[in-house]
């Protein structure tokens, strides 16, 4: 028995991808304002990457944030490296900068304020910048949300390039390029079944009123760790086999989408084991009552 096609739908705002592209195009102008009085910065050392549910095409709820990482790879802002004491040699730390990452975040925020008009509301969260943009076409106004995260280029012990930033006051290391590539590769290997199963799990969760805000990436990550050969189709039988795999294997050993860290026992940003178990229970209950 096949699953209802309505559980494989995505929810997109009209023009969302055009708005994202427009944001990307105007970002150099904002950063140019930021660096005008900061000779240690060059525009060429800034880059931006989108990494969110829109990027993976797994967005199932309406008012989600476009997440933009502003990567800063600027040697002139780095103070000379100090030799760490032996006991701290393996501890990940934000490099010592002439202008701190916190000062960079506030400076970029102020540059956005100078650049945008009253149709864009900006505010600072603890570790990132948020923006709400209202765009009017004819008699229709649509609202779009952005989360802007300033971060530093980071290379791990295997010389794999990632991003370092603050998350809830702690250091977080992410590898969005690698995560996107891994997601897309697994999806291609399963002829789009992997992404469809992610959508099914999310849409089942969305059937409950209290699940209108799904934690970002958690279902994508959970299912990424299921063996590729199990994504045969999106029939209820196949989905229940996936549920059985999740119930009988150690989720604590699951990796992030970028495969550079443990997803649910990370020393940086660990995802919720409790929420994963909640997803498994809810999806199983839905499938076994069909």
Structural Rg of the chain based on CA atoms: 21
Instruction: State the greatest distance between any 2 C-alpha atoms of the chain, in Å, as a whole number.
Output: 64
Cα–Cα nearest to 93, from 164, 178, 11, 184 = 164
Report pLDDT digits (tens) over 125-137.
999 999 999 888 7
Q: SS3 for 92-104, per residue? A: CCCCCECCCHHHH
CA atoms within 13 A on the CB side of 238: 21
- Give ∠ CA 228-230-231 in degrees, rounded to 5: 75
CA distance 259 to 272: 17
- Which CA distances in Å does 113 have to 30, 48, 72, 121, 244? 9, 19, 20, 9, 51
Confidence (pTM): 0.91
For residue 200, name the pLDDT band (cuts at 50, 70, 90): very high
Q: Where are the domains of the chain?
A: 8-174, 180-288
pLDDT digits (tens, 9 = 90+) for 65-124: 999 999 999 888 888 766 545 444 456 788 889 999 999 999 999 999 999 987 799 999
Question: CATH: 1.10.3470, 3.30.460, 1.20.58, 1.25.40. Which one for 8-174?
Answer: 3.30.460
């Amino acid at each position: 028995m096949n699953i209802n096609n309505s559980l494989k739908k995505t929810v997109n705002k009209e023009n969302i991808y055009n708005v994202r592209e427009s944001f990307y195009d105007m970002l150099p102008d904002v950063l140019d304002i930021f660096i005008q009085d900061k000779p240690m910065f060059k525009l060429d050392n800034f880059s931006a990457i989108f990494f969110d549910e829109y990027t993976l095409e797994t967005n199932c709820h309406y008012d989600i944030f476009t997440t933009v990482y502003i990567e800063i790879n600027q040697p002139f802002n780095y103070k000379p490296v100090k030799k760490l004491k032996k006991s701290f040699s393996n501890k990940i730390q934000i490099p010592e900068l002439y202008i701190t990452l916190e000062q960079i975040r506030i400076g970029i925020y102020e540059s956005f304020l100078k650049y945008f008009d009253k149709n864009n509301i900006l505010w600072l969260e603890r570790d990132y910048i948020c923006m709400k943009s209202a765009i009017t076409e004819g008699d229709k106004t649509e609202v779009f949300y952005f989360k802007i995260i300033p971060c530093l280029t980071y290379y791990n012990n295997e010389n794999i390039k990632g991003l370092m930033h603050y998350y809830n006051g702690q250091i977080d290391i992410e590898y969005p390029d690698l995560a996107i590539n891994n997601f897309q590769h697994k999806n291609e290997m399963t002829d789009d079944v992997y992404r469809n199963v992610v959508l099914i799990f999310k849409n089942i969760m969305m059937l409950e009123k209290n699940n209108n805000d799904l934690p970002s990436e958690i279902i994508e990550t959970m299912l990424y760790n299921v063996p590729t050969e199990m994504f045969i189709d999106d029939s209820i039988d196949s989905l229940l086999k996936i549920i059985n795999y999740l119930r009988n294997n150690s989720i604590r050993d699951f990796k992030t989408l970028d495969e550079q860290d443990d997803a649910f026992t990370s020393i940086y940003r660990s995802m919720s084991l409790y929420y994963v178990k909640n997803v498994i229970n809810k999806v199983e209950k839905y499938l076994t009552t069909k």
